[in-house]
Chain A
Amino acid sequence: MSLIAEDIRVFYGRREALRGVSLRAEPGEFTAIVGPNGSGKSTLLGALTASLPYAGRVTLNGREIDGLQPWELSSERAVLPQASRLAFPFTVLEVVRLGVQAGTAGDRPEVPMQALARVGLAHYAERTFQELSGGEAQRVMLARVLAQVWSPIEDGRPRWLLLDEPVSSLDIAHQLQVMEIARDFARAGGGVIAVMHDLNLTAMFADRVAVLAEGQRLAFGTPREVFSDGILSRAYGCDLRVSAPPPVGTPYILPHAATA
């Protein structure tokens, strides 16, 4: 019952955006994917969610996703895209309900409102989605994916959250809130895979980190294993310093640009 990607390759035309990336995410854990812009993070998430053609194998809870129908996949994992645009003036609550299918845990009538309350936006239920600020819209979309896989584990099968930059346009309080929501989902038995840019938040919340650079996996392990001066500086191509201040020892990353 894991999410396993084996030797994933993705081509956009002739350009190879992913050159054989493997990844194993376990339920109960928060797995982060980090790396510079264009390194292939969204592309990897696209392969993990079967939204683009790829070579290699992706297995979700023991079944290869290639042969699964959209509705079979949607009951086991929810996906938060990097950006969302809505074509019609649905209300916030209607948007949250969109992903909820009959017969799933999210189908209980109170779940969409609870999901909105979880991201602190229950009082926005009747607002028009298109009129929200960027961060508000991002939180509503998170509520939508939460409602889709409301119980982190059902019938012994873990559900999965796949999030592409879930905190990219949030203020610091809501960044923490969203990271806590994701971690709680994992603690309750679900699996979380999130593309992240904020390395310090990643170090605080992730159980496991994959570092991508130029379509390849540079490192994969716990934040303490992976966040070293060498690996990060190589991945991002700039001078980064990692310290792990006691007593907690969570890695702490600072750019080192002011030396010139």
Chain B
Amino acid sequence: MAVITDSFIPPRDRVARARALHGLLAAALLVACALSLQIGATDVRLTTLLAKLAQGQDLSQMERVVLFDIRLPRLAMGALVGAALAVSGAVMQGLFRNPLADPGIVGVGAGAGLGAILAIVLGGLLPLSLAGLVGPYLVPIAAFLGGWGGTLLLYKVATRHGRTSVATMLLAGIALAALAGALSGVMVYIADDNQLRDLTFWGLGSLAGASWAKVLAAGPLVMLALAASLTLGRGLNGLALGEATAAHIGIDVQRMKSIAILTVAGATGAAVAVAGGIGFIGIVVPHLLRLASGPDHRTLLPNAALLGATLLILADVIARVVIAPAELPIGIVTAVLGAPVFLWILLKRRGMVDL
């Protein structure tokens, strides 16, 4: 008889740690929000405004405009875009079963970008009735469709029997980005001056164009995607064992994958539509969270939304202060901070069998 005795050791619970982290991240988000309202090009300060209100004084016209029409929509947009990008990254990594997948890197962002550009340039050609119907949602919806097409295509090309080849995924992503870039280039020729200004502004990856209209345009799509991501936790956990095993433990794999792809497309599409291409949030945030509290998607996804929003708001604060009174496109800030972290992840994983 091969009896092998064993003792019970109560395991440290990473789920508990992830929950604690949840509270911590929520607090960090609040701090980031306060900071973002405090700091800006004008010397309107949140603290002064609060003090004024506390003493029953009215805010000046200028203070109202700065607070309600400039900083608040910008803050809201930063939070939405950051949460959307981080959650897209986490879902995509779960779907592709690969911690290096990222909507920006593998061309989903490019697909969404193409959709947005087509909408900006060709939107005027829509029959008026239809244009009136979709109105401000035209660009986000087009970006969503572009992102969806990109994700589907990428998944078809890069995945065989539930396994994603990283090389294929990256190369397909490059092809997709090149194609989207070329078509976008054509659009630049067709565009009139007004549209051209929209395009340049948008292409830099920036929150500078923030407005309540944009927040309202992107908000519903992002919220929908975030809500959908909350249903994916157990499914993506199961998928980590492979598609066949995921099905064996009771997951409707096809349905779950469709929801995951729509989630990525919706979140990436909405983010790209209002803020252009902002890189590295989608890969750095989930990675940091996995280091802190493990890869369980049930906690990873909500935490990614919080940390993504926080980091993007902070990056925006940095973008606004480093060369004040001018400001950097936020895409530059996330790249400068994110690219080294990404390289560090690569360096650490270099020895592993399946990068």
Query: Within residues 276 to 322 of chain B, which ones have a CB less than 8 A from any CB in chain A?
Result: 290, 294-296
Evaluate contact between A177 and B4: CB separation under 8 angstroms: yes
Q: Does B11 contact A (CB under 8 A)?
A: yes
Please determine whether B245 and A69 come into contact, CB atoms closer than 8 angstroms. no
1/0 per residue, CB under 8 A from B, across A42-59: the answer is 000010011100000000
Residue among B240, B244, B248 making CB contact with A78, cutoff 8 Å? B248
Residues of B within 8 A of A126 (CB): 9, 11-12
Contact-size category for B: 35 or more
Contact (Cβ within 8 A) B295 A99: no
Please tell me if the beta carbons of B290 and A88 are within 8 angstroms of each other in the complex.
yes
The segment out of A90-98, A196-204, A212-220, A233-241 that lies at the interface is A90-98
Q: Which of A81, A98, A125 is the one whose CB lies under 8 Å from B9?
A: A125
Instruction: Give residues 222-261 of B contacting A (CB, 8 Å).
Output: 237-242, 244-245, 247-253
Contact B9 A89 (CB under 8 A): no
A64 contacts B by Cβ under 8 Å: no
B9 touches A123 (CB 8 A): yes
**B251 and A70 within 8 A (CB):** yes
List A contacts of B8 (CB < 8 A).
113, 117, 122
Closest beta carbon of chain A to B352's beta carbon, Å: 8
Q: Is A23 close to B, CB under 8 A? A: no
Inter-chain contacts of A50 with B (CB < 8 A):
247
0 or 1 for each of B75-94: is its CB under 8 Å from A? (1 = yes): 00000000000000000001
Query: In whole angstroms, what is the CA distance A89 to B240 when docked?
Result: 10
Which of B2, B6, B290 is A123 in contact with, Cβ under 8 Å?
A: B6
Q: Does A209 contact B (CB under 8 A)?
A: no
**Are B237 and A98 closer than 8 Å at their CB atoms?**
yes
* Residue in A closest to B96 when the chains form the complex, CB atoms: A87
Q: A87-B98, A88-B99 are in contact. Are A122 and B242 (CB under 8 A)?
A: no
B295 touches A89 (CB 8 A): yes
A101-B4 in contact (CB<8A): no
Q: CB distance B249 to A94 under 8 Å?
A: no
Q: Give Cα A99 to B253, complex, Å.
A: 14
For A123, the chain B residues whose CB sits under 8 A away are: 6-7, 9
* Min C-beta distance of B186 to chain A, whole Å: 38
- Give the contacts of A123-175 with B (CB-CB under 8 A): 123, 125-126, 148, 173-174
Task: Say whether A84 faces chain B, with CB atoms less than 8 Å apart.
Answer: yes
Confirm or deny: A176 has a beta carbon within 8 angstroms of a beta carbon on chain B.
Answer: yes
**What residue of chain B has the Cβ atom nearest to residue A139's Cβ?**
B4
User: Are A90 and B4 in contact, CB atoms less than 8 angstroms apart?
Assistant: no
Q: Cβ of B19: which chain A residues have Cβ within 8 Å of it?
A: none
Chain B residues near A79: list those with CB within 8 A.
Answer: 244-245, 248
Residue contact A176 to B241, C-beta cutoff 8 Å: no
A98 near B249: Cβ-Cβ < 8 Å: yes
Which residues of A have CB within 8 Å of B11?
91, 93, 113, 125-126
Seen from chain A, the residues whose Cβ lies within 8 Å of a Cβ on chain B are 46, 49-51, 69-71, 73-75, 77-79, 81, 84-91, 93-95, 98-99, 101, 113, 116-117, 120-123, 125-126, 148, 173-174, 176-177, 180
Known: A126-B12, A174-B4. 17 other contacts (CB 8 A): A50-B247, A70-B250, A71-B250, A74-B248, A79-B245, A81-B245, A84-B241, A84-B242, A84-B245, A86-B240, A87-B94, A87-B239, A91-B14, A113-B11, A120-B6, A121-B6, A125-B9
